[in-house]
Amino acid sequence: MDSRNILSSISDVSDDTEFHTPMPAGYKPGQCKYVVVFGTVMSGLGKGIFSSSLAKVLQDKGFSVTPIKLEGYLNRDAGTLNPFRHGEVFVLDDGMECDMDLGTYERMLNQDLSRLNFVTSGQVFSRVLEKERRGGYLGRDVQMIPHVTGEVKNCLRELAVASAADVVFVEIGGTVGDVENAYLIEAVRELAFEEGPNSVCFVALTYVVKPPMLGEQKSKPAQLNLKQLMGAGIQPHIIACRARHPVTKKVREKIAMYSSVPLDRVFSMHDVDSVYVITELLRDAGIDTAVLDHLKLSDRVNADREHERRDIWNNYIKRFREAAKPVTIGITGKYTSLRDSYASIIQALEHAGVHLGAKVRIEWIDSTELDETNVSDRVAGVDGVIVPGGFGTRGVEGKLACVKYLRENRIPYLGLCYGFQIAVVEFARNVCGLEDAQSTEINSNCAHPVIDILPEQRGITQLGGNMRLGGHDVRLTPHSTVAAMYGDASKIRLRFRHRYEVSPDYMEQIEAAGLIFSGKSPDGRIAQVLELPNDVHPYFVATQAHAELSSRPLRPDPMFVGLVRAALGQSTPESNPTSDKTAQSAKA
C-alpha cells in the first residue's frame, strides 16, 4: 500500500495514528502537481521571478497554474512591514496585503490572485490555535509535527481545490537556513511523501559568488547550502544558479556532483535586461521539459497554444529592446534608497514605455532633501514626475514643494495614493487660499483639514482596521481626461491602500477653483481620481488608488501610459491600451 492509500484511510487525527493530514472537500492526493522553489545562500535572489517565469511557461503550454508564497514571519500579513524591511506591500483585489512577489506572479501570469495565494507563519499558527480551542485535535497534544505542518499542507491543498489548477507553484520565502522556515520545508517534504511519486518537483535557487579579489566564480557557498537542504530531507530535482554573468560549466559540474542533480538540470539564471526574458532562458535550458518529465505531464502539452503565446510574449521583449524614444521620469519619495519599495511603479513605467516605444529612465528624488529652494534643480532634466504612496510625516513638505513646482511649470505629474492627497493639499493652499490646509495625518489641529479620516472611521482603533484596502469600483466623469484614457469608460476598478480621504466639506470649494475630481466612489461621496483640464496643464492626474498594482506587460495601466505620453510631448490621449489586439489575445 503506497502513501496515498494509507492517507486515504485516515479521516483526520486520533490516538490510533500519528498521521495528521486534513484534506479539503473534493481533494484527491496526486491529482494536482506541485513545484516547490527554495532559496539558498541568501535572500533576494529572485525566487519569485524564477517561479513565476516557470509558471508562465507551463501556462503557455496549456496548463492551469497558480502560485502560493509561504512566508516564515509571524505577521498575519505584510501590511505593517516597513518598505525598508521587505520591499513594497502589494495589495490584492480582495484586500490582502502581501509580499511584492505576488505582484510578480500577477504581472507574469496575468491573473488576479487572492488571499489563498499568500500564507504566513502568523496565519498558520493562528489557524492551529483556533482549531485547538475548538477541540479540533481530539485531546491530542498539539505539535509542530504533525499538526502545524499538517496545516501548511492544508493551505496548499485548499488552494489546489479553489483554483482547480493543474500545477501549484510553491515559493518558500527567505532561505533554507532560516529557523522560521524549518517547519515549512518539513511540510513540503511530507507533501511529496503523501502525494506520491512524480507529484512534487523540488527546485533550489542558489547563488554563485565571484569575489573581486579572485576574479572567478566559486561554488562552495552553494554546495554547503544545498547540503543543508538535502539534510532536511529534500533532494532537489532542478538547481537554478543565480549570478551576474553566465555560470560556467565547471561550476555547474561541481554543483551537480555535490547535489546529485544531473548536469543538464543545473542551469544558469544570470542577470538579464528584463525579468520578462527569463521565460526564454528557461525554455532554452530545457527546464520546462525537465519539470514536465518529472511530473509526468509531457503528453498534455498544447503545442499550438504555446507557439501563439510565445510569439506574443517575444513580441513584447522585441518592442522593449527596440524602444528608442528617451524619456526620464522622476520618482519623488522617501524610500528611494531601496528600489524594491517601488517595484510595481518601476514595472508599470516599463509597461507604459514599451507600449509607446519609449525607453524610460528613472530619476530618484529623495523628498526628505527637497524644499522650495532646490526643487527646480532637483527636477531639472526630468520629463515627468511621480509622487508615490507613503505614510507618516517625513518628507511631506518636500513633496508639497515638488507638486507646486510641477503644477506651476506645467510638468507632467502622476500622483499615487499619498501623491493624490499631496496634490489636494497643495492646490488648497496655493490656489484656494487655504494657507493652513493639511492632512490630519500630518497635523491633527490644522485650520483646514482637507484630507481627513471620514466620520465612520473614527471609532476604529486597531492598526489597519480603518484602511480602505483592495479593489473598489470608481465612477468616472464623462469626457474627462481619465475617462478618455480608459476608453471612455464610465466605471473602472482600482486597488487601494490608504486611511485618509478628501474631506467632503472641502470638495465643492476645491472643484470651484478648477481642480476636477473626475473619479469618485459609486455613491459620489469619496473622491478617488483628480485632474486639471488639458488647457491648464498638459498632464496633471492623481489617484487615491495604487494604479501601478494593476499594470501588466501586455495591458499597461492607462494612467502610466498617459504620464509617459505627456512626458514625450504627445498631448492627445489615445484609447485604453487594454484594447490593444495583442493584449486581448494574451488574456489568460
Question: Could you read off the pLDDT of 219-237 as tens digits, one per residue?
Answer: 999 999 999 999 999 999 9
* 3-class SS of residue 140: coil
Question: Could you read off the pLDDT of 431-472 as tens digits, one per residue?
Answer: 999 989 999 988 989 999 999 987 655 554 444 456 889 999
Please report the pLDDT score of residue 83 as a whole number.
Answer: 74
- Active site (annotated) includes residue 531: no
Catalytic residue among 417, 448, 472, 531: 417
Please report the pLDDT score of residue 138 as a whole number.
Answer: 80
Please report the pLDDT score of residue 45 as a whole number.
Answer: 82
Q: Going along 405-513, which residue ranges are E strands?
A: 413-416, 437-439, 448-452, 468-476, 491-498, 501-502
Please report the pLDDT score of residue 581 as a whole number.
Answer: 40
- Tally of CA atoms within 13 A in the half-sphere of 563 that contains its CB: 33
* Nine-digit cell string for 303: 503545442
| Contact predicate 578/550, CB 8 Å | no
Catalytic residue among 71, 171, 195, 548: 548
Superfamily of domain 32-315: P-loop containing nucleotide triphosphate hydrolases (3.40.50.300)
* Domain 32-315 shares a fold with domain 323-452+465-585: yes
Q: How many CB atoms lie within 10 A of CB 30?
A: 14
DSSP code, position 245 = S
Residue with the three cell numbers 526574458: 277
CA-wise closest residue to 397 among 434, 429, 366, 371: 371
Residue with the three cell numbers 505593517: 80
| Contact predicate 76/120, CB 8 Å | yes
Q: Give dist(CA 159, CA 515) in Å, integer.
A: 45
Q: How many CB atoms lie within 10 A of CB 281?
A: 18
| Contact predicate 471/493, CB 8 Å | yes
Question: Domain residue spans in the chain?
Answer: 32-315, 323-452+465-585
Please report the pLDDT score of residue 463 as a whole number.
Answer: 46
Please report the pLDDT score of residue 336 as a whole number.
Answer: 66
- Active site (annotated) includes residue 501: no
DSSP code, position 578 = G
Q: What is the DSSP string of 50-113?
A: HHHHHHHHHHHTT--EEEEEEE-SS-SSSTT--HHHHSPPEE-TTS-EE-THHHHHHHHHT---
Radius of gyration of the chain (CA): 25
Q: What are phi and psi of 516, to 5 degrees?
A: -100, 125
For 182, counting Cβ atoms within 10 Å of its Cβ (0-12 exposed, 13-18 middle, 19+ buried), the class is middle
- Active site (annotated) includes residue 548: yes
Instruction: Please report which residue ranges of 332-463 form alpha helices under DSSP H.
Output: 343-356, 375-378, 396-408, 418-430
Ramachandran assignment for 142, one of left (phi > 0), alpha (psi -120 to 50 degrees), beta (any other): beta
pLDDT < 50 regions, the chain: 1, 6, 8-13, 460-464, 574-588
Q: How many CB atoms lie within 10 A of CB 570?
A: 16
* Nine-digit cell string for 269: 539564471
* 3-class SS of residue 141: coil
* Nine-digit cell string for 491: 466605471
| Contact predicate 195/168, CB 8 Å | no
Please report the pLDDT score of residue 460 as a whole number.
Answer: 46
Q: What is the DSSP string of 305-364?
A: HHHHHHHHHHHHHHHHHH--EEEEEEEEES-TT-GGGGHHHHHHHHHHHHHHTEEEEEEE
Q: Which fold has domain 323-452+465-585?
A: Rossmann fold (3.40.50)
